[in-house]
Structures are given as C-alpha cells and as structure tokens.
Chain A
C-alpha cells in the first residue's frame, strides 16, 4: 500500500451512502455511522479530486452499489485534511478501483472510534441523489 503522503491534504474523499439511516434529511447532515470502520479497521472511500458529480456517482453505482445490490443514495465528502487532523490516515487501496482508498489507523477502543466518526461526520458534506 502507498502511504497517505500520496494524497494532497485538500483532496476530497467520498464515502458512498447506501443506507438512509446514515444521514439526516432534516438538516442535510451525516451520521457518524456512515464513517464507522469495518471489522478490518477500514472505512472505504473514493478519491474524487477533479471528477464531475456524475463521474463520482458513476463510480458509486458501478463499483459500490451494484456490486452490493443496493441503491446509491448519495455521498458524504470530507477532505483528506479532515481525516489527518483526527490522527487517522488515508491509504490508497486501488484493487477494486484506481481511486479507491481506506481511512485507517482507527483506535482500538470503540468509544474513541465512535467519537472520531462523529467528528468526521460533523465535517462532512452530504450530497444526496434525487430519487423518484
């Protein structure tokens, strides 16, 4: 894997949202659950620097939602600097897609992971897809 030095601090990262319980429509905010790491201590994200919205959603549909048999609802964007300021790391992991990366270095203690996920969610920008 490449270290996080390969990413610019201002590079945006998108976490694709497939679950309506992961955001609050009332104020367009993101819930911490959207950023909680999986059992391997990774939160899967995509590097979206320079991509148009439709290109971003195309990645989400083809490489996340359709593989998992879900509907893409939107995405939560954070900057790489937001992640680094919380003492987390971003590691490119291009096996499923060249722009794929993982947020890693989550602490062992669950309450601390929860707190960091809450801080990431507070900084995240929610972009929802229009659904009919």
Chain B
C-alpha cells in the first residue's frame, strides 16, 4: 500500500501509525500517538493549564478540582482537533477528493499538521481543520465572514496565512515553520476574536 511504503521514510522520526496498514492497526497507532502527544503537551505546556479555559462543566467550587477540570478541558480540545485532523486525512488522501482536481494530502503534510497542532497554545480557540485543494491542510479560526484567519501547511516547513479583519483590513504572507510557532499566528487569531 502506498501509505506503508511512504511511511518507511519517517519511521525513525514518528510513531508507527499504520503497521500492516490494517484499519485496526491504524487506530491503535493513532491512540498510542495520541497518548504520547497529550503527555508531551501536558509536560511542555504545563504553564498554560493555569490560564482561563472555556471549560464546559466547571461547576466545582473546590479549587483543586477546578484545576483538574481545566486540565480535562485542555485534553478535550487537543483530542477533538486530532480526531478532526485524522478524519480530514482519511477523507482527502486520494486525488480529486473535492470532486474537482484537488491534490491528495500527503503523509508529510499530515505529520506536519500534527506538528503545527502541537505548537498551538490551548488557550486559543480550537481551529477548524480542513483540506485545501492543493493538498495542504488548513487551520481556520472563524468568527464571521469578514473575521477569519487561515493558515495552511503542505509538508515543506512553509506556513501560508491569510486573514480578514473586517471588510477593509486584511493580511497575508508566508513564514518558516521551524521548532516554534511562527509569530504571526497568535496575534492574528486573537485579532479575529477581538
């Protein structure tokens, strides 16, 4: 299978997501990766847990329990985003997935999207993840038609972004996606929602 062949190029750097390329194995691989991903996120972003979260169901009056609930809210955000990313990859990894001439999402792009996702502070609203017709994966923060910020990556360490901040204010550009989140992301997301 194409995925198994492609994946061998990454076996030293990423978890074995699709051993044998069976559906169950893929699910198992994803669960293992998800567990590791959440653990890394909790370790590396422990400071963000004290930030205000839009945690649903935080009805506890006990501060210790409240902290625990905030942590759960963080995990939910990540979990949902990862599920959405996996779904997008499943649905759009074949050519012409949009009915026109869309390029398929490559494994490189998928893995880079996971990397980008791990960099996004959980204090930001959850982005909506979708495939772009050129095979890139887009992360969108949407408030209304004229308040929207979109970034996309295509497996080449380049992040492309565009934003509408009202009818007359807009921005666009590209940045290198290295080990840290490019500086354009957080301010632009916050600007959409202010």
Q: Mark A29-64, 1 if CB is under 8 A from B, else 0.
A: 101110010110000100000000000000000001
Q: Mark A64-86, 1 if CB is under 8 A from B, else 0.
A: 11001010000000000000000
Q: Whole-angstrom distance between the alpha carbons of A32 and B21 in the complex?
A: 33
Closest chain-B Cβ to A34's Cβ sits at a distance in Å of 9
Known contacts A32-B150, A36-B134, A115-B162; A68 and B172 CB within 8 A of each other = no
Residue from B99, B140, B144 in contact with A68 in the complex, judged by beta carbons closer than 8 Å = B99
Flag if B100 contacts A111 (CB, 8 Å): no
Flag if B173 contacts A111 (CB, 8 Å): yes
Chain B residues with CB under 8 A of A109: 172, 174
Flag if B145 contacts A31 (CB, 8 Å): no
User: A27: CB under 8 A from chain B?
Assistant: yes
Flag if B174 contacts A19 (CB, 8 Å): no
Known contacts A33-B130, A33-B138, A111-B174; A122 and B145 CB within 8 A of each other = yes
Flag if A64 contacts B164 (CB, 8 Å): no
Chain B residues with CB under 8 A of A31: 130, 140
Residue from B96, B100, B144, B152 in contact with A44 in the complex, judged by beta carbons closer than 8 Å = B100
Within 8 A of B (CB), among A75-99: none
Q: Whole-angstrom distance between the alpha carbons of A114 and B146 in the complex?
A: 14
User: A112: CB under 8 A from chain B?
Assistant: yes
Closest chain-B Cβ to A64's Cβ sits at a distance in Å of 7
Flag if A18 contacts B160 (CB, 8 Å): no
Q: Whole-angstrom distance between the alpha carbons of A45 and B183 in the complex?
A: 37
Number of interface residues of B (CB under 8 A): 33
Flag if B148 contacts A118 (CB, 8 Å): yes
Q: Whole-angstrom distance between the alpha carbons of A102 and B38 in the complex?
A: 45
Flag if B164 contacts A68 (CB, 8 Å): no
Closest to B148 in A: A118
Flag if B99 contacts A115 (CB, 8 Å): no
Closest chain-B Cβ to A107's Cβ sits at a distance in Å of 10
Chain B residues with CB under 8 A of A27: 144
Closest to B149 in A: A118
Q: Whole-angstrom distance between the alpha carbons of A121 and B194 in the complex?
A: 22
Flag if A111 contacts B172 (CB, 8 Å): yes
Chain A residues with CB under 8 A of B91: 21
Q: Whole-angstrom distance between the alpha carbons of A9 and B170 in the complex?
A: 24
User: Residues of A with Cβ closer than 8 Å to B?
Assistant: 18-19, 21-22, 24, 27, 29, 31-33, 36, 38-39, 44, 64-65, 68, 70, 109-112, 114-115, 118-119, 121-122
Besides A19-B99, A21-B130, A114-B160, 17 more A-B contacts (Cβ < 8 Å) are: A18-B100, A21-B88, A27-B144, A29-B144, A31-B140, A33-B130, A33-B132, A39-B103, A68-B96, A68-B99, A70-B99, A111-B173, A114-B150, A114-B161, A115-B163, A122-B148, A122-B164
Give me 8 A-to-B residue pairs in the complex whose CB atoms sit less than 8 angstroms apart, sorted by A's number: A21-B91, A29-B144, A36-B133, A38-B101, A109-B172, A114-B162, A119-B170, A122-B164
